[in-house]
Structure 1
Amino acid sequence: MLEHSLDLNWLRDFECLARTLNFTRASDERNITQSAFSRRIKALESWVGLPLVNRATYPVQLTEAGQQFLPVALAAMSQLSESRQSLRDADRGDSRFIRFSVLHTIAVNFLATRIDELQRQIPELRTRVLSDSLSTCCDLLIEGAVDILLCYYHHSVSPMIDEAAFERKDLVKDRLVPVAAVEPARTMGWDLARQDGPPIPYLAYDRSSFLGMVVENTIDRKCLNTETIYVDSLVETIKRRLMTGSGVAWMPETAITAELDQGLLVPVGDDAWSATLTISAFSNPSGFDQIAHQLWERL
């Protein structure tokens, strides 16, 4: 049997659960669904080879193995963070890189173009972008591993960032809209408002992902005549399936502007099926040098 490799996020999840002793509160703090959080704790227990949490008590308690493993996990996270900071300091040299942690779709469809514009305005600007999940991006900011976090904000699913410690800037509005390739949409009559006919093939985000949670909140108790045929966490991979006419999917408008303008994609639902998102930036500018301050002011 193949053995799982250790994921640093599992250690962060375990520390959070050990502190809160509550799966719901810990999953909220880690910005993932409770089911996904539980799976990651079980994956860590599988890696260790012993139960770390006693789920039969309320509140949950750490087992004896969990109590022994907690200081090991905390020490490992601390050592990794210190090592990363040392490497960052050594890497800076005379030309300091400003580091971003960014959701992948924002990096591709917003930040890349914005950095091009900013580097023309600030020729000395040097940047490094780390694309990952929302929880990892938030952790990187909180631990000081990056200077700026870019993420989506939505009224039902928002990152838990201490706004007393970090400044927030709302940069641009985006919309999450249900769309399909024009030919199959017209030929097959795909419309989310229709309840009759064969189910519409649906390309879905993983429910533990940020966009997956926003879509679930948008659908809520609406009746959907769809059949999920594909699940992924990345906008770009779902978009590839979308463009081949495989089904309908919710897409950020920033990711499909050209395709909508060219008539390659069309909406398959009215505004009631869409969600408004905000691309927001978080940082603590108090430690910025002059170049970083210029970037933050113009971002």
Structure 2
Amino acid sequence: MGISLKAFLFQSDRKTRASRPVEIRFCGGLSRDASLLIALPIDAGEAVLSLRAMDSLTRYFRGEKAVVGDSSLGELFSYTRLDIEFCPLQDLPSFLKERKFDLFWDLNRPPSPIWKYITGSEFKIRIGSDPDRYPDYNVITEVDPGRPGGEYQEEALRMLLIPINPFVLRVSEDLRRKTWDKLLYKGHDSDRVLVFLDVADPRNYSLVKHYLLGFFKGSVTFLVMRVSRRTSEEIDIGGFEFGERLAALSLSDLYVGEGGFYSGLAAQLKIPQMYIPGSKLSLPAGTHFVYFEPDEEGFSRDFKELLSS
């Protein structure tokens, strides 16, 4: 039995030569033997949240597969050893000159910047979520834009009858133990709260540090990356291997950030999160987080509840 959802096949009207969407009754016509190139979301945080959708696609299709995404994701793919080839976005033009795929699936929300890379390409089927980008995409999945990261991409798969497989980002206990010992060696104390501080703006960085030092009465260790002048309560993990940074995040009591790559990882690992107001977020439903608004009534209460969740 077919399924009729908001999945549109764009066709050309021969009389007017205009392009118009035609709603189709989709009956699972995507060949599982097709070769596939997947474009992850440009936003690195949302790309991390889309790993389950990506993994579901790679399990469904049996042909040759590759994935393209922001270069910052390269370390993650090397660490997780996902059974798929990774191509940094900047290398995509040369990559497409050497490789051919039957199907292209863009997991970006509209407007996606990926279309310009596939213009004139030889993909038989080009799937995306932006109805304004015909004929660059010839199959459009119209998903509720209010859906959070990960869920948005998975709904597009469901529309085309792709089953969603379970996927959990894991950190081995052995690596967690070794990383914990390394943090203790670097100056952490097990009695202190461990905070992964992923804030680039110097002013926000100072404000968050000052607040948390007072809130925890100085009993806190901040995990930071490549600070110019490290203080006694900070441990610079910028030189750690990626797996160690991921393990350090999984050991943290709190993640503080502005959105982005480690934000997505923190959500995957279900770490309590606090964000700078104005951060670009696309977090899964049920994510525990607060905005850093210490002057707002009720913030301290909400923050305490977050830490106890």
TM-score by length of 2: 0.31
Normalized against structure 1, the TM-score is what? Answer: 0.32
Higher relative contact order (CA 8 A, sep 6+): 1
